[in-house]
Chains A and B, each alone.
Chain A
Amino acid sequence: MSKPHISAIVNGDPVEFLADPGMTLLDALRDELSLTGSKEGCGSGDCGACSVIVDGRLVCSCLMLAAEAEGRRVDTIEGLAQGGRLHPLQQKFLEHAALQCGFCTPGLLMAAKALLDANPDPTETEARYWLAGNLCRCTGYDKVIRAVMDAAAELRQVKV
């Protein structure tokens, strides 16, 4: 079976790759585009380590076929820092020590980015429910939630 040719925009840049019909978007990012920041923790959409944003919507890239990315805009952790500067979420994760092993961190950051894009002023409860699809086994979420809330506050100030 021949592999479909896929064109997409990843982190703002046009990319092209050949995708096996069964290839997931996560495999395409990691294996075809060498963007290994998105992680596979389960392959079944339960852990959120592979979270990316597709046309503005948060998805588990392990649950989306690579071929479905045709013509779409995909944002991954590799595109979160801009121009050599960390995104406020990344900076706040560091300041609050919101990561230990760091494996779930790319997915958590992308999920948090999607949260703040949709809701710049979330309550703690809203943040906890939004991030409930991103498993972290190290931190107990305390510092993660604090970092997200702090980043939200900073981003709101920037916008004013």
Chain B
Amino acid sequence: MSDVLDGPGVQPDLKVVGTRPIRPDGADKVTGRAAFGADFNMPGQLVGKILRSPHAHAKIVSIDTRKARALPGVKAVVTGADFPNLASEMHEGGEAASNLRDLAMNVIARDKALYDGHAVAAVAATSSAIADEALRLITVTYEVLPHVIDVEAAMSPDAPVLHAHLFTEGLEVRPTSASNVARRNQITRGDLAEGFAAADVIVEGRYTTQAVHQGYIEPHACVAAWVEDGQCDVWSSSQGQFMVRTYCAKILGLEISDIRVTPAEIGGGFGGKTTVYLEPLALALSRQSGHPVKMVMTREEVFRATGPTSGAVILVKLGAKVDGTMTAAEVELKYQAGAFPGSPVGAGSMTALACYDIPNFLITGWDVVTNSPKVAAYRAPGAPIAAFGVESAVDDLARKLGMDPLALRERNGVRNGVKAAYGPTFQNIGYLETLAAIKDCPQYSLPLGPNQGRGVAAGFWFNVGGESTAAVHVNEDGSVVVVTGNPDIGGSRAAMAMMAAETLGVPMQRVRPRIADTASIGFSMLTGGSRTTFATGMAVVQAAEKVVADLKRRAALLWEVPADKVEWRNGAAVCLDPAKADPKPMTLEILAGQSARTGGPISAQVSLNAQGAGPGFGVHVCDVEIDPETGHVTVLRYTAAQDVGKAIHPSYVEGQVQGGVAQGVGWALNEEYIFDSDGRMENAGFLDYRVPVASDLPMIDTILVEVANPRHPFGAKGVGEVPIVPPLAAVANAIRSAIGVRMADLPLSPPKIRAVMDARAS
């Protein structure tokens, strides 16, 4: 089942927006023709490979590369010493800020290896086998250090310290010694003690999650070619060609204009391809060897050295009156950052209570470095972890109050005019409508059988706008090309073409969207933060509007009437001057054919910094059945409702929601990084790191609630991230309902459930 519920502010009479055409890049992708990261080759290219630390924490005493360099066929060997030693400097990316020094040291270690899999050297050779042999011939002398991965162990005063320069920020008094706690952030309102004193009922919980990987099926891949004059080309799969260009320039000390990055098709990212791992190494190897260098990660490398998101500890305390009115909330979040500061605990803190209007609260977040891969953005970074704790506690609160869990959320739910826990005042949000959609959905009132349970949970994500560029070119036959700078990660080409077609009044098939390299379109922030359809879409619409204004001017010129006597209707200029005896409308095709007479090529480009991305809310209901023999959880039914503003292409919006749910279910039930006692990842492959497969899931029903965002030309809000926020708790709450016990430590894998059921039985 999939429903679209039109809400306030949605424009009537749209011809293209809101329909379900076949995506413009579809045929390429079902025939195998689409070129992803590893599908590109250059003449004379070498194979680049990386030597990775086998230790979770070790001082690099020396690296001897002489034997590797002497091996016939080896053309380049680089280590950290081949890269400039950057100063600490924050750079605003698309989804989160990065410290450039840390970014460079994550690409290749300098003095210390900080996690199992940390790159310490790279080679380029004429064949894969020679590159492998070269890696074997590099001798790295390590001084192995004690390591720490568990977040609370890393916070303890006697933990091994990863960075001698790291002093906790955000405390009242600056600490006198270095630690693994990079930062403490706090958000507070009202009087917490008073709030809890006013409560009739209090619930408390401690919840844990493990690090999980984005799990995109395409491993990172690139080809880099350094030309002798210092100009270079990079072909790579990422969420942003401009991001790759900036980071490569910074890490290698190059002029931005000397680098051209061409985006490959991207085989999934989910936030994990918002940074660089391979590209700077491939460029350095190409510079040293004088050949193009291709690098492709193995799946094991993807797990050991990229992503994941944080494992965490979440403490939640909630207080409410007997009527369900929440009076106080206290949330503490401790997130693993991996080897360098920058966990998503800030966003976790800001989203933790974003669905609730509570007068007194305190949210504290801790960003903690650990000997594990540096975390990367993962779909609504930080929010699912916080929501797992908060939404589990809200479920317990509803149970203690004897209230329906949706009714409790409705009573305390945010609405227009409420000041969000993270600061701004909500406008044009659709949270209550989304709650109502789940209350009314068929699944919510289906009877449950033995060993079955039902859980609900809510979730929030900000969505962002940001800098984008789009160009609209009208060809001489009246067909249209739309050019943007955002990799299409899940169907955004279709959305761009549809919005341009709607604005121009032509069929979507006359508009062909292209994604340009960094030299062929103006700057655009990366595809992330659920920003592309909103922000880049806004640039597309504004560029199309400029084209329409130009077309009206050209028609007026040809008709010899004032410009205000021309209107644009259904893809044609219409003359409104009564003095002209019934002139025929001039279509885009006619005007394009005469463009030389009216001022030359018809084309417009818009660069903007989009503001006003509407925040999104989701409410999910999950039904599970537990196998009492094995502890295995089957997800029987799942319905996800989400306020999407306006669905430009509803099928791809549903797809975003369904995909987010599937990832969230995997996070809840199966997925986790498992480390051995030496800090080495034990399950770095898809056999042992088990993402959901087709037979694990039911159909995922969606309800698209459309409460329009007035800041977007068609009312769109970001949609990609919200749907991974509720599932962790929706699944856990369903299991609580089925077995009568609160399970608070993800993943809720069969052995854990079986242990609880056995304990209950005996």
Interface positions of A (Cβ within 8 A of B) = 30, 35-44, 46-47, 49, 76-78, 80-81, 86, 90, 93-97, 99-106, 109, 125, 127-129, 131-146
Contacts and interface: CB of A to CB of B under 8 A. Distances in A.
A140 B659 contact: yes
Given A44-B687, A135-B217, A100 B655 contact: yes
Given A37-B32, A78-B31, A103-B267, 8 more contacts: A41-B299, A41-B686, A77-B32, A97-B655, A101-B490, A133-B693, A139-B655, A141-B662
A119 to B, nearest CB: 15
Contact of B29 (A44, A95, A105, A144): A105
B39 A103 contact: no
Interface of B: 20, 22-23, 25-36, 38-39, 214-219, 265-270, 296, 298-299, 489-491, 649, 651-652, 654-656, 658-663, 685-687, 691-697, 699-700
Most buried by A among B38, B651, B692, B694: B694
B32 A132 contact: no
B659 A100 contact: yes
Given A42-B686, A137-B268, A144-B694, A76 B219 contact: no
Contact of B267 (A102, A125, A145): A102
A160 to B, nearest CB: 25
A137 B216 contact: yes
Contacts of A144: 694
Contacts of A100: 268, 489-491, 652, 655-656, 659
A137 B217 contact: yes
A43 B28 CA distance: 24
B217 A102 contact: no
A145 B694 contact: yes
Given A78-B31, A93-B30, A138 B652 contact: no
A143 B36 contact: no
A138 B32 contact: no
Contacts of B491: 97, 100
A132 B692 CA distance: 9
Contacts of B490: 100-101, 138
B125 to A, nearest CB: 15
B31 A138 contact: no
Contacts of A109: 30
Contacts of B693: 131-135, 141
Nearest to A144: B694
Given A42-B299, A47-B217, A86-B27, A140 B267 contact: no
The dominant DSSP class at the A interface is loop
A152 to B, nearest CB: 15
Given A103-B36, A140-B659, A46 B687 contact: yes
Contacts of A44: 299, 685-687
A134 B691 CA distance: 11
Given A95-B22, A100-B491, A101-B490, A78 B32 contact: yes
B298 to A, nearest CB: 6
A134 B694 contact: yes
Contact of B663 (A38, A86, A137): A137
Nearest to A126: B695
B72 to A, nearest CB: 16
A124 B649 CA distance: 26
Nearest to A37: B32
14 contacts: A36-B38, A80-B30, A97-B23, A97-B651, A102-B34, A103-B36, A104-B217, A131-B695, A137-B216, A137-B217, A137-B270, A140-B662, A142-B699, A145-B694
Contacts of B663: 137
A94 B26 contact: yes
Nearest to B298: A43
A96 B649 CA distance: 12
Nearest to B39: A36
A81 B20 CA distance: 23
Query: What 4 pairs across the A-B complex have the smallest Cβ distances?
Result: A37-B32, A103-B267, A102-B29, A140-B662
A100 B379 CA distance: 15
A132 to B, nearest CB: 4
Contacts of A81: 31
A145 B662 CA distance: 14
B655 A143 contact: yes
